[in-house]
Amino acid sequence: TKKFIYAKAFQGEPKETDFELIEEELPDLKDGEVLSEALYHSVDPYMRPYMARYPVGVTMIGGQIAKVIESKNVAYPVGSTIFGQFGWQTHTIFNPSEHTDPIQSYVLPSFGKHPSSLGLGVLGMPGNTAYFGFLGICQPKAGEVVAVTGAAGAVGILVGQIAKLKGCKVIGFAGSDEKCAWLKNELGFDHVINYKTENVSKALRTAAPEGVDCYFDNVGGQISSQIIQQMKDYGRIAVCGSISSYNLDVKDMPQVPILQPIFVFKQLKMEGFLVWRYADRWMEGIKQMSQWVDSGKIKYHETTTDGFENLPKALIDMLRGGNTGKAIVRSSL
Ligand code: NDP
């Protein structure tokens, strides 16, 4: 197997030299074990803060879609396509009965005419993040105003589209004019704001003079404080991610305004969540998202990098905003 080791502790932005590519021989399969070969790897923002908790020398973490190529386990027959939280490696030997986490690996349900890579995006972790996180925490109602940051990314495009399905007015924030135009023209967002070039507070006041009912926060930091200041009474905020600070040292974190009085006087509710909270309802989320994808109600988009050896580059590009929709890497063995 080829694998990427987390070789140097991240400081600031991850660098290609923080990773080391090595090759290892794999042993023969024992009873109950499965050998899989990666087809697609996921690069996700959580890798930056999560890896900071691991010692150097471990295999890089990450989800992958893989094909079973040898099996001594009836639940994982040869030829089946699976999801596995196996990390950045081309081949994996695992014994599903030893997994402590129910979604560490599973055989993918049929995606019909759609590619299996969707199991890393709309029909996988980001899809469930949008589905459960947005509907469960924001509890949107028809006619309400929904703001979403990181709007052109894997989770953001789905939150915005689910909000439209629920009859909401959707305002998306993204980092380029191209992304903003695409969100508006292709995905039907009502308003889009380029947070890099526009005055966020002013643009939001123009787009939603009535204020915001639901805010799905993918980025944290200054933009989030500016949006929260324009929430309506009884507004709900789902705190999904904080990518604006993932590369920063604590000492470099921006000073943001005190928000407590707004929470009191507007009676706001803010809740952070991790999608693993919904592990026991995982397939329910995938089924609902599949139905929406099949009926054309939810569109998906992937930014694909070719070649296992380009995983570090793909991660770095995604953290810099190089992706639209889900960032994935095709293993190309
Ligand atoms: P994306 O596909 O959205 O990719 C990351 C995007 O973040 C980039 O494309 C870039 O878009 C944007 N970005 C980068 N730096 C900044 C910055 N300083 N300020 C604002 N935006 C920035 O990733 P995901 O959809 O996979 O994840 C989105 C968020 O959701 C992340 O914070 C992630 O950690 C979180 N998440 C949380 C989960 C949970 O269980 N709570 C599960 C899954 C994801 P742009 O061009 O717009 O800047």
Q: Are 224 and 253 in contact (CB under 8 A)?
A: no
Determine the distance separating the centroid of ligand 1 and the alpha carbon of 243, expressed in angstroms: 5
Amino acid at 161: Q
User: What digits encode the pLDDT tens for the residues 156-169?
Assistant: 999 999 999 999 99
Nearest to 104 by CA among 91, 87, 122, 116: 87
Domains of the chain: 2-120+300-330 (3.90.180.10), 125-275 (3.40.50.720)
The predicted pLDDT at position 333 comes to 59
Which tokens in the block code for residue 267?
A: 């009676």
Which residue type does 311 have?
Answer: L
Instruction: Say what the pLDDT of residue 256 is.
Output: 80
CB contact at 8 A, 242 and 220: yes
Which residue puts its alpha carbon closest to atom 32 of ligand 1? Answer: 241
Does ipTM surpass 0.90 in this model?
yes
Six-digit token string for 170? 């959707």
CA–centroid distance, residue 332 to ligand 1 (Å): 26
Give CA angle at 326 (52, 81), nearest 5°. 95
Mutate to test the pocket of ligand 1, among 51, 155, 320 (most ligand atoms within 8 A of CB): 155
Q: What per-residue confidence (pLDDT) applies to 313? A: 98
Ligand 1 centroid – CA 151 distance (Å): 8
Pocket of ligand 1 (CB under 6 A): 44-46, 126, 129, 150, 152-156, 174-176, 179, 218-219, 240-244, 273-275, 318-319, 321, 323, 327
> What are the helix (H) ranges across the chain?
47-51, 125-128, 154-165, 177-185, 200-207, 221-228, 260-265, 282-294, 311-319
User: What is the edge-to-edge ordering of all strands in the sheet holding 231-239?
Assistant: 191-194, 169-174, 145-148, 212-217, 231-239, 269-272
SS (H, E, C) 37-69: EEEEEECCCCHHHHHCCCCCCCECCCCEEEEEE
Cα 191 to middle of ligand 1, angstroms: 19
Q: 215: which 2 tokens?
A: 């805010």
Q: Chunk the chain into consecutive blocks of 10 residues (it has 333) and report each block's average pLDDT, rounded to whole numbers.
A: 96 96 96 98 97 94 98 97 98 94 94 96 98 98 98 98 98 98 98 98 98 98 96 98 93 86 97 97 97 97 98 98 98 77
pLDDT value at position 257?
84
Is the pTM here over 0.95, yes or no?
A: yes
The closest alpha carbon to 106, from 69, 68, 133, belongs to 68
Amino acid 115: pLDDT? 96
Question: Which ligand 1 atom is at minimum distance from the Cα of 323?
Answer: 9
Residues 103 and 16: beta-carbon distance below 8 Å: no
Place of tokens 């947005």: 134
Give residue 234's region: left, alpha or beta (phi > 0; psi -120 to 50): left
Compute, in angstroms, the gap from residue 194 CA to the centroid of ligand 1: 15
Interval between CA 113 and ligand 1 midpoint (Å):
28
Nearest CA to ligand 1 atom 3: 153
Q: Among 42, 171, 218, which residue has the most ligand 1 atoms within 8 Å of its CB, making it the best to mutate?
A: 218
Q: Tell me the Cα Rg of the chain.
A: 20
